[in-house]
């Protein structure tokens, strides 16, 4: 298996002719998918991190991404619900805590609301999700349904985009702080925290799929789960670009105030 | 209730302040939603019907829309599964037959494949759905999940876009036959057949929601189900426009051959 043999990769799958015969080939293929499909490559991120967006466009990004963030603990509860094995449930449970926090301690969702508030959005409006793009909703809900309906192995594999998140978050923190006068370190605390959380989570998930995908068919399922998840992320940025960069805001969605 | 009072309509709902107190107000609101949200208003349809697309762009439309068409009988089977009432199941069942046909008689899916074949697409590739836009898949699957998870009333209400389909299909048939030399009456048979089927189906669904939504809360649910469905359709055209008109084809999706 090398990158050249993955030319049959479609929007949906790595292609029927790929036969991964070892955990090492699986990992190499997963890293290739990340290198070619992860949303760090999306033009909207280049605009966001390069200081090319106005405040309203950054607001639209944060508003829509809130729906993704606030759905993650629901998705993780679904993943937990797929495992009769107590050890896997225990391992996965801290992900819910990372996002939901606890009584008296904030979690990722509250940190995200610091970002939207810092950008000038009304928190009640953000939490209502009434103004997000329909494409955001469909993509995010597809992720929850995927974890409910596919195999437990695929549910875990769909989290593997976290392997590629830390580089993106580093770039985002430095790029946004450098380029936008309406961004400060405090409102970027979500990303700083994820720099520590994501590698631990991704490490577990990678070890899990390498150990539990024991046939070429299962290794292909794992790869296709990662492709699915890169699509979930990519679709969200396509929708933001179409609506807020190219100017095609769909009916009823958030309209930035003229500045 | 009049159109002016619907200014609180969001991307997701008719807004919290609307109180529909009769079946007539419900129908007027549904028709207002159709008049302001149905995808007949989408710029991509104006390009399609006005002869402004090239063959590759029309192929992309037909390829992606195949996924919607071929999912409709699955959606309708889900709707049927929500009703313990035999009469409603009987009434709804012909929708599956309309799309799936029968042994020896063609249905809507086969007619759609005549369209994609007539446009020069390989049928096995179309049926594989490997090249459709991820946004198409997420939107269409959202429709199936909606009918499974919401109330039976909302499942029926989400079909109400059919109220507005015949005008769109008339415009499509005449516009596409006039403007494209690669389109002929035979490959447009799907739409001609729907001119008879859709009004009958929409009439039943409209009567049903008018009779069974008996509180302002239920009437709001019916309206929101129609808004949801207009979003399912709108998102598909946004994605086509972004990918194939504005030139941002996502990884692995169908790439038209240069002509």
What average pLDDT does this structure show over A25-53? 97
Q: CB B135 to CB A9 under 8 A?
A: no
Q: In terms of CA atoms, which chain A residue is nearest residue B13?
A: A130
Of the candidates A17, A4, A197, A180, which has an alpha carbon nearest to the alpha carbon of residue A95? A197
B11 φ/ψ angles, rounded to the nearest 5 degrees: -65, -20
- Gap between the terminal Cα atoms of chain B: 52
Assess B22–A contact: CB distance below 8 Å, yes or no. Answer: no
B137-154 tens-digit pLDDT: 999 999 999 999 999 999
The reply to whether residue A251 touches residue B37, judged by beta carbons under 8 angstroms, is yes
Q: Any residues with CB less than 8 A from the CB of A101 and at least 6 apart, and which?
A: A107, A108, A109, A110
Contact call for A252 and B12, based on CB within 8 A: yes
Answer whether A213 touches B (CB < 8 Å).
no
Q: Could A36 and B251 be called an inter-chain contact, meaning their C-beta atoms sit closer than 8 Å?
A: yes
pLDDT digits (tens, 9 = 90+) for A46-97: 999 999 999 999 999 999 999 999 999 999 999 999 999 999 999 999 999 9
Instruction: Just give the CATH number of A32-245.
Output: 1.20.910.10
Of B9, B243, B248, Cβ closest to residue A252: B9
**Where in chain B are the domains?**
30-245
**Residue A53: both structure tokens together:** 């967006």
Please tell me the distance from the alpha carbon of residue B168 to that of residue B178, in angstroms, as a whole number.
Answer: 15
A104-128 residues labelled b (16+ CB within 10 A) or e (exposed): eeebbbebbbbbbebbebeeeebee
Q: Which residues of A touch B44 (CB under 8 A)?
A: none
- Provide ipTM, 2 decimals: 0.91
Q: What is the mean pLDDT of residues A117-127?
A: 97
Which residues of chain A lie closer than 8 angstroms to B135, CB-CB? 135, 138-139, 235, 238-239
Please, which pLDDT band fits residue B7 given cuts at 50, 70 and 90?
Answer: confident
The b/e string for A181-201 (b: 16+ C-beta within 10 A; e otherwise) is: eebeeebbbbbebbeebbeeb
Q: Which of A37, A239, A254 is the closest to B251 by Cβ?
A: A37
Closest chain B residue to A34 measured between Cα atoms?
B251
Count Cβ neighbours within 10 Å for each residue of A204-234 and write b for 16 or more, e otherwise: bbbebbbebbeeeebbbbbbbbbbbbbbbbb
What is the model's pLDDT at position B4? 52
Q: Tell me which chain B residues have a C-beta less than 8 angstroms from the C-beta of A10.
A: 130-131, 252
In this complex, the residue of A11, A137, A250 whose CB is nearest that of residue B234 is: A250
* Encoded tokens for B77: 């089977």
Mutate to test the interface with A, among B74, B251, B253, B254 (most CBs of A within 10 A): B251
The overall longest dimension of chain A from CA atoms, in Å, is: 56
Residues B30-245: name the CATH superfamily.
Heme oxygenase-like (1.20.910.10)
Residue B139, chain A, CB below 8 Å: the answer is: yes
In A218-257, the residues whose Cβ lies within 8 Å of chain B are 227, 230-232, 234-235, 238-239, 241-243, 246, 248, 250-254
> What average pLDDT is seen over chain B?
95
How far apart (Å, rounded) are the C-alpha atoms in residues B125 and B58? Answer: 16
Provide, as residue numbers in chain B, all residues whose Cβ is less than 8 Å from the Cβ of A235: 134-135, 138, 239, 250
Question: Does A182 reach chain B within 8 Å, measured CB to CB?
Answer: no
Q: Name the band, by pLDDT with cuts 50, 70 and 90, for residue A164.
A: very high
Q: Is A142 exposed, middle or buried (0-12, 13-18, 19+ CB in 10 A)?
A: buried
Which residue among B12, B235, B250 places its CB closest to the CB of A135? B235
- Candidate from B13, B137, B243 with C-beta closest to A130: B13
**CA–CA dist B35, A147 (Å, integer):** 37
Question: Residue B43: CA atoms inside 13 Å, Cβ hemisphere, count?
Answer: 14
DSSP assignment of B36-85 equals HHSGGGSHHHHHHHTT-S-HHHHHHHHHHHHHHHHHHHHHHHHHHHT---
CB-based contact (8 Å) between B12 and chain A?
Answer: yes
Among residues of chain A, what percentage have pLDDT more than 70?
98
- Does the pLDDT value for residue B245 go beyond 90? yes
**Cβ–Cβ below 8 Å for B251 and A11:** yes
Mean pLDDT in chain A? 95
B234/A242 CB distance under 8 A: no
pLDDT tens by residue, A98-109 = 999 999 899 999
Q: Does A6 have pLDDT greater than 90?
A: no
Size of the A and B interface in Cβ pairs below 8 Å: 130
| CB B26, CB B217: distance < 8 Å | no
Q: How confident is the model at residue A2 (pLDDT cuts 50, 70, 90)?
A: low
């Amino acid at each position: 298996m090398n990158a050249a043999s993955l030319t049959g990769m479609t929007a949906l799958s790595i292609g029927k002719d790929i036969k991964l015969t070892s955990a090492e080939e699986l990992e190499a293929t997963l890293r290739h998918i990340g290198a070619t499909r992860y949303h760090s490559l999306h033009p909207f991120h280049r605009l966001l991190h390069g200081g090319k967006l106005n405040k309203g466009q950054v607001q639209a990004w944060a508003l829509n991404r809130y729906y993704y963030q606030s759905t993650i603990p629901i998705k993780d509860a679904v993943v937990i619900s797929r495992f009769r094995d107590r050890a896997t449930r225990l391992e996965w449970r801290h992900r819910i805590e990372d996002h939901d926090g606890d009584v008296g301690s904030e979690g990722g969702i509250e940190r995200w609301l610091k970002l939207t508030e810092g950008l000038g959005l009304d928190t009640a409006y953000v939490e209502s999700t009434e103004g997000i793009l329909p494409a955001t909703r469909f993509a995010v809900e597809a992720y929850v349904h995927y974890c409910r309906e596919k195999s437990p192995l695929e549910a875990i594999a769909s989290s593997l985009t976290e392997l590629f998140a830390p580089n993106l978050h580093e770039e985002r923190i430095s790029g946004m702080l450098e380029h936008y006068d309406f961004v400060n370190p405090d409102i970027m605390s979500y990303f700083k925290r994820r720099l520590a959380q994501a590698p631990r989570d991704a490490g577990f998930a990678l070890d899990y799929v390498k150990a539990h995908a024991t046939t070429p068919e299962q290794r292909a399922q794992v790869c296709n789960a990662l492709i699915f998840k890169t699509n979930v992320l990519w679709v969200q940025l396509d929708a933001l670009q179409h609506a807020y960069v190219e100017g095609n805001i769909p009916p009823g969605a958030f309209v930035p105030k003229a500045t």
